[in-house]
Chains A and B, each alone.
Chain A
Amino acid sequence: MQLKIENIHKSFGSGDSRTEVLKGISCTVDSGSICVLLGPSGSGKSTLLNIIGGIETADEGSISIGDDKIEGMSEKKLSLYRRKHLGYVFQAYNLVPDLTVKENIEVGAYLSDNPMNIDEILNLLGLWDHRNKMPNQLSGGQQQRTSIGRAVIKRPDILLCDEPTGALDYQTSKDILKLIEEVNRTCGNTVVMVTHNDALKHMADRVIRLRDGAVRSNKINEAKVAAADLDW
């Protein structure tokens, strides 16, 4: 499903301490594509991701996924919007500590009327052998795989990834990126990934660069490479 971002403004603070973090961001992400949001710290990329995710509100502008606009939605409707359209992957995994790998993924499945088959997901993520382990028995990469499984099992239209490899080593990061790519190919979700790792732009269909709350560049990546071939 297509993601449309129109004239998003966002400020924090008030009076003299007011800081405008997003200054009229507009862009479109095509259905089923991978979009990488790049930018230095404080550029506003995470804030934009949060606004797309409906967990932060924009002061101005609108976000649309297909025919659904989140502008003016109540908290209840926002929950349903997130439930229906979005999958979230965070840098810190945020798994439920008392649930096994399989159960953590079931948490995502619970949110959908038509979830994917959990065994297939476990196999896809390479977690079949670890399905009955608790999060504290897993490596960082395995935890992130689980969190991706939790996000994609409900067939979200858009998968939002906030620095998904930020806490991982090089090889594990590559494994996770391969997985995101595979999920995108297999499930057809639109992926929006926030990162400060410039190398990731090569695996994207679209690369949007932010600086000081504004879009510095918004390009289609004509020379897309597979995640496996990334290097940094």
Chain B
Amino acid sequence: MRNPLYKRLPRELKKNIGKYLAMFLFLTVTIGFCSGYFIATGSLSERLASNYEQFKTEDGHFTLTAAIDDKIKDVFEKNDADVYELFYKDKTLANENVIRLYRPRKNVDLSEIYSGEMPQNDDEIVIDRLYARNNDITIGDKIKIEDTEFKVTGFFVVPDYTSLYKSNTDFMFDALTFSIAIVTDEGFDHLSDSGLKYNYAWMYRNRNLSENEKHEKSEDIVNQLSDEIEKNVTEYKEELFKAIVSGTASYDIKEPSVLTEYLPSESNSAINMATEDVGGDKIMVMWLLYITIAVIALATAITTKSTIEQEAAVIGTLRASGFKRSELVSHYLIIPLIETLLAAVCGNVIGYTFMNSFCASMYYGSYSFPLYQPNINAEAFLLTTLVPAGLVLLINFLMLTKLIALPPLQFLRRELKKNKKTRTVSLPFGGFTSRFRIRIILKNLQAYLVLIIGVFFANILLLFSFIWNPLLDNFRNVILDNQISEYQYLLKTPTETETDGAEKFAVYSLKNPKGEDITVYGISKDSGYVRNADFSDGKIYYSSAYADKYGTQTGDTVIFTEKFGNKEYRLNVDGIYDYPASLCVFMGIDEFRSRFDTDDDYFSGYFTNEKITDIDDMYIASVIAKSDLTSSADQLENSVGFVKLFVVFAIAVYILMIYILAKMITERNSRSISVLKILGYKNGEISSLYNFSTGIVVLIAMFISLPIISWLIRYVYYAMMLEYNGWMSFFIDPVIYPQIIAIGCGCFLAAYLLEMGRVRKIPMNEAIKDME
């Protein structure tokens, strides 16, 4: 015979339809979002993983100052790797955006058309889909590069630019002002060689090497390359010296090719950032799901416990009649379990039908992924169905087995607490109302603890979604307030200018102990741009961004190494210079020349507030302007737009938790409420006694949780930023706190009104009925 107690279930559902429906919808939407998310990220990850074989992703690339020679080629040959030409030209458009142009790719980092078609004619171009979207460029539009008007024939993706990093040392990719493009060979040749980079990609012949093997090989290659290039430079210097001594012309002596960039794919953010982001976010979403489920399971457990307390005598009778514990546990477990499973099924349907495309679109707004094709994902099913159901089962099972384990007699006597004699807390202070409310809080402490957990969780979501815009605005403002100059011109070779106020500086790139690229500036004497720093006696200053990121203090010494070599540089910290834009070190230009063994008149570029017009473009390596300093913040703002969704989610958590627990407290105290009505209390007064207690707890929870969460988010932020190149200072706008408190209070008010209705419905004979 089927357990007749199961016949209660539909009635229980009908009786508490509001509670179950709210929980069901919340779970369904959460699971739907997470399921869609896991399907989307699973499909994207699979697609990205297949890029390596299908689109022949490079194992690394390097850039030389001139075309490759045979000796360098031999280094790769010895290491079983093929080298392919992947030259590009960086061209600045009229709107200051930069387009990186490539020839059509045939052997490595193959391109895939996203929409449209590859260029056929010399004046046709394909560009990155995301850049096009961000700049409202459609197929058929024209882009003027130098004197040629290129017609956009399509949008494409390549595996070496799934995120548009202009330089690997950039803090953030930039799909707003930077794009890659492909033109025909003729189109490429037709453009001037300014911005031309002798870039080469290599691929190991064995495509099945492990990550470790690839890493070891790339280390070997860079060491051999450094040796080879050093040899070339020495030979060049010797030949040059001989020529000068012998008085012969030195024009025939070919300048050696020098390595300016060496980037194995494992360290290439443009290749890995998207994959890592997808993987990293997955963990975050997984935790979001599990915390939500755990909070819901706790709320369910508390409400079930309350039901058991109310039905204690019935349970005692059933146990005394021979019902087994397991039968009762399974009876009380079945609704939350079925609800979770049903929500999981509906959530997965939502996930597979449309939510996965929505989630994928969040990534397509930041990365240049190939065409999206959702795949069936067993892991998504496991993570969004079995794990949540298991979690609900576990939490409720633990609570139920502990509670139902009590002897039947205790149920019959309604003595469900371990300590039968609860010590009465003395409340000598406050008026009747305050003491009444405190008693309600003390009586329902467990339920309120779950509410506090819910508020804590909701506030994490709110704070996380609110901090970004002010943080990025603050970053932009701080950067612009502290920028050294309007423009920083980096030259390929020292060239003089007559520009008013232009000031020479030298620059060199080193690796810090964490392997991060650090810029070392040599600042001219009596600089008009880097003020408030005394560079006399070889004093060295670190930027505030560096000090903030690595906790460096005056008096410390940091050992840097060369980017492509092992030479060490010990640089003392004589002061911190207020420069939050980048991780860099400042020293006097003479100190710089002496430390890096350069000519006495060596310099690398100019600080200037005016545009330099008297130096030919071909001598300019790059120009850092305002937009370059703030581009990372702009891009990040574009990428974190989706976190605003968390606000909706947090509000739902707030209302749901307050609603479920306040309802439970009202129901648990229905007899007392009925007695109060008999005594002559008005509905409003009763509601203010019971529901206001919930409001007090919500407020207390908010005031306790906000400082803890702020600290927690600051900690996570710092840990997260340490993984990135560069630095962005943490900042919480104080305005956020009242906003969060207002949302919390608003949610409480909504739940308060609902509960007022419930209090109104409790009949006066409730008290009499129970005492019959």
Instruction: Tell whether A and B belong to one assembly.
Output: yes
A interface residue numbers (CB < 8 A to B): 50, 53, 55-56, 75-76, 79-84, 86-88, 90, 92, 94-99, 103, 106-111, 115, 136, 140, 147, 150-151, 154, 167
CA distance A67 to B347 in the complex (A): 56
Interfacial chain A residues near B322, Cβ < 8 Å? 79-84, 86, 111, 154
Cβ distance A174 to chain B, nearest Cβ, rounded Å: 19
B316 interface hit (Cβ, 8 Å): yes
B7 touches A103 (CB 8 A): yes
A94-B313, A107-B4 are contacts. A151–B321 as well, Cβ < 8 Å?
Answer: yes
A106-B4, A110-B1 are contacts. A50–B409 as well, Cβ < 8 Å?
Answer: yes
A83 touches B321 (CB 8 A): yes
A94 touches B317 (CB 8 A): yes
Q: Number of residue pairs across A and B with beta carbons under 8 Å?
A: 89
A55-B319, A111-B322 are contacts. A136–B4 as well, Cβ < 8 Å?
Answer: no
Interfacial chain A residues near B408, Cβ < 8 Å? 55
Q: Smallest CB-CB separation from A47: which chain B residue?
A: B409
Cβ distance A22 to chain B, nearest Cβ, rounded Å: 15
The stretch of B8-16, B23-31, B265-273, B688-696 in contact with A is: B8-16
Q: Smallest CB-CB separation from A109: which chain B residue?
A: B1
CA distance A140 to B772 in the complex (A): 8
Kindly state the interface size class of chain B when it binds its partner. 20 to 34
A94 touches B316 (CB 8 A): yes
A55 touches B314 (CB 8 A): no
B89 interface hit (Cβ, 8 Å): no
Interface string of B309-327 (1 = CB under 8 A from A): 0010110111111111100
A55-B412, A79-B323 are contacts. A99–B15 as well, Cβ < 8 Å?
Answer: no
B407 interface hit (Cβ, 8 Å): yes
Chain B 274-330 interface residues, beta-carbon cutoff 8 Å to A: 311, 313-314, 316-325
A107 touches B324 (CB 8 A): no
Interfacial chain A residues near B325, Cβ < 8 Å? 75, 79
A55-B409, A79-B325, A94-B313 are contacts. A103–B320 as well, Cβ < 8 Å?
Answer: no
Interfacial chain B residues near A80, Cβ < 8 Å? 322
B5 interface hit (Cβ, 8 Å): yes
B321 touches A88 (CB 8 A): yes
CA distance A88 to B320 in the complex (A): 7
Known A55-B412, A136-B769, A151-B321; further 16 A-B contacts with Cβ < 8 A: A53-B320, A55-B316, A55-B409, A76-B324, A79-B323, A79-B325, A82-B322, A83-B321, A90-B313, A94-B316, A96-B5, A97-B311, A98-B12, A99-B8, A107-B318, A109-B1
CA distance A79 to B318 in the complex (A): 10
CA distance A147 to B313 in the complex (A): 13
A97-B314, A99-B7 are contacts. A111–B319 as well, Cβ < 8 Å?
Answer: no
Interfacial chain B residues near A90, Cβ < 8 Å? 313, 317, 412
A95 touches B320 (CB 8 A): no
Most buried by B among A56, A99, A110, A150: A110
A87 touches B321 (CB 8 A): yes
B3 interface hit (Cβ, 8 Å): yes
Interfacial chain A residues near B1, Cβ < 8 Å? 106, 109-110, 115
CA distance A90 to B409 in the complex (A): 12
B interface residue numbers (CB < 8 A to A): 1-5, 7-8, 11-12, 15, 311, 313-314, 316-325, 407-409, 412, 769, 772
A86 touches B317 (CB 8 A): no
The 3 closest A-B pairs by CB, nearest first: A83-B322, A94-B317, A106-B4
CA distance A87 to B311 in the complex (A): 19
Most buried by A among B1, B316, B323, B408: B408
Interfacial chain B residues near A151, Cβ < 8 Å? 321
CA distance A83 to B314 in the complex (A): 16
A and B contact pairs by CB, cutoff 8 A, 26 listed: A76-B324, A79-B324, A79-B325, A80-B322, A82-B319, A83-B324, A84-B322, A86-B321, A86-B322, A87-B321, A88-B321, A90-B317, A94-B314, A94-B316, A96-B318, A97-B311, A99-B5, A99-B7, A106-B4, A107-B5, A109-B4, A110-B1, A110-B4, A110-B5, A115-B1, A154-B322
Q: Smallest CB-CB separation from B408: which chain A residue?
A: A55
Cβ distance A106 to chain B, nearest Cβ, rounded Å: 4
Interfacial chain A residues near B409, Cβ < 8 Å? 50, 55-56
CA distance A90 to B1 in the complex (A): 25
Interfacial chain A residues near B7, Cβ < 8 Å? 99, 103
Interfacial chain A residues near B769, Cβ < 8 Å? 136
Cβ distance A167 to chain B, nearest Cβ, rounded Å: 7
B320 touches A82 (CB 8 A): yes
Cβ distance A154 to chain B, nearest Cβ, rounded Å: 8
Main secondary structure of the interface of B (DSSP, over half): helix
A95 touches B314 (CB 8 A): yes
Q: Smallest CB-CB separation from B407: which chain A residue?
A: A55
Which of B15, B314, B324, B772 has a CB less than 8 Å from the CB of A96? B314
Interfacial chain B residues near A167, Cβ < 8 Å? 772
CA distance A97 to B311 in the complex (A): 9
A111 touches B321 (CB 8 A): yes
Interfacial chain B residues near A150, Cβ < 8 Å? 321
Interfacial chain A residues near B15, Cβ < 8 Å? 98
Interfacial chain A residues near B4, Cβ < 8 Å? 99, 103, 106-107, 109-110
Q: Smallest CB-CB separation from B4: which chain A residue?
A: A106
Q: Smallest CB-CB separation from B324: which chain A residue?
A: A79
Interfacial chain B residues near A110, Cβ < 8 Å? 1-5
CA distance A76 to B322 in the complex (A): 10
A92-B313, A110-B1 are contacts. A98–B8 as well, Cβ < 8 Å?
Answer: yes
Interfacial chain A residues near B407, Cβ < 8 Å? 55-56
CA distance A130 to B409 in the complex (A): 30
Interfacial chain A residues near B311, Cβ < 8 Å? 96-97
Cβ distance B457 to chain A, nearest Cβ, rounded Å: 32
A96 touches B321 (CB 8 A): no
Cβ distance A134 to chain B, nearest Cβ, rounded Å: 9
Q: Smallest CB-CB separation from B317: which chain A residue?
A: A94
CA distance A229 to B467 in the complex (A): 83
Cβ distance A161 to chain B, nearest Cβ, rounded Å: 12
Cβ distance B654 to chain A, nearest Cβ, rounded Å: 30
Interfacial chain B residues near A103, Cβ < 8 Å? 4, 7
CA distance A112 to B431 in the complex (A): 57
Cβ distance B13 to chain A, nearest Cβ, rounded Å: 10
CA distance A115 to B4 in the complex (A): 14
CA distance A161 to B407 in the complex (A): 19
Cβ distance B427 to chain A, nearest Cβ, rounded Å: 29
Q: Smallest CB-CB separation from A150: which chain B residue?
A: B321
Interfacial chain B residues near A97, Cβ < 8 Å? 311, 314
B321 touches A108 (CB 8 A): yes
CA distance A103 to B11 in the complex (A): 13
Q: Smallest CB-CB separation from A75: which chain B residue?
A: B325
CA distance A108 to B314 in the complex (A): 13
CA distance A140 to B316 in the complex (A): 19
Q: Smallest CB-CB separation from A79: which chain B residue?
A: B324
Cβ distance A66 to chain B, nearest Cβ, rounded Å: 16
Interfacial chain B residues near A83, Cβ < 8 Å? 321-324
Cβ distance A182 to chain B, nearest Cβ, rounded Å: 21
CA distance A73 to B163 in the complex (A): 70
CA distance A76 to B313 in the complex (A): 20
Most buried by A among B2, B317, B407: B317
Q: Smallest CB-CB separation from A84: which chain B residue?
A: B322
Cβ distance A16 to chain B, nearest Cβ, rounded Å: 17
CA distance A122 to B320 in the complex (A): 22
CA distance A80 to B8 in the complex (A): 24
CA distance A92 to B320 in the complex (A): 14
CA distance A151 to B320 in the complex (A): 10
Q: Smallest CB-CB separation from B315: which chain A residue?
A: A94
CA distance A203 to B525 in the complex (A): 118
Interfacial chain A residues near B317, Cβ < 8 Å? 88, 90, 94, 147
B321 touches A82 (CB 8 A): yes
Cβ distance B4 to chain A, nearest Cβ, rounded Å: 4
Cβ distance A139 to chain B, nearest Cβ, rounded Å: 10
CA distance A187 to B655 in the complex (A): 55
B320 touches A55 (CB 8 A): yes
Cβ distance B433 to chain A, nearest Cβ, rounded Å: 33
